[in-house]
Amino acid sequence: MEKNSRAKSTTFKVAVLVAILIVTIVGVYAALTYPRTLIDFPVSFTLGADVERKEFDVSILHSQVQVEVIVNSGTSLWTAQILSQDETLWTHAAYQGGQTTYKSDWIKLSSGHYNFTFATAGLGSLEAEIKLTSKGGFW
């Protein structure tokens, strides 16, 4: 009877240990792949053509990036691009005025170093906030 009780106790301890290990692994994975901001900067362009360039890195467990452009005021033609060296991986252009928000779909990128370019052209001015967010895993 005592051996049977010990076997059940050992089995219970192993099951609890495995459950704790699984929860820990899932928690660490979720923390590492949770969406994070890669770039967040304001732009204020006046009449004419202007360009803002930023560099960013996509980490190994993150595979998707989303671009968000929040136009606070002004009217202008703008273009946003994600580049890897000299190759354009993603681009979007729009003519927007007033207060508008643009959000891209999730863009698949492998881990690595990238460049982001935001440019305006036209007779108007533009004040906006640019934000790039990356995510991975099951988010």
Q: What is the DSSP string of 29-88?
A: HHHHHS-EEEEEEEEEE-SS-EEEEEEEEE-TT--EEEEEEEEEEEEEEEEEEEEETTEE
pLDDT at 119: 92
Which residues does residue 127 pair with via DSSP β-bridges, in sequence order?
Answer: 44, 73
Residue 4 lies in domain: 1-33
Instruction: Please compute the mean of the pLDDT values over residues 109-128 and round it to a whole number.
Output: 89
> Quick one: 56 and 114 in the same domain?
yes
Judged against a pLDDT cut of 70, whether residue 8 lies above it is answered with yes
pTM for the full predicted model = 0.81
> Quick one: 61 and 93 in the same domain?
yes
> Quick one: 59 and 116 in the same domain?
yes
- CB neighbour list of residue 118: distance below 8 Å, 6 or more residues apart: 43, 51, 52, 53, 69, 78, 79, 80, 130
pLDDT at 100: 86
Length reported for the chain: 139
Give the residue among 111, 105, 81, 83 at the shortest CA–CA distance from 93: 81
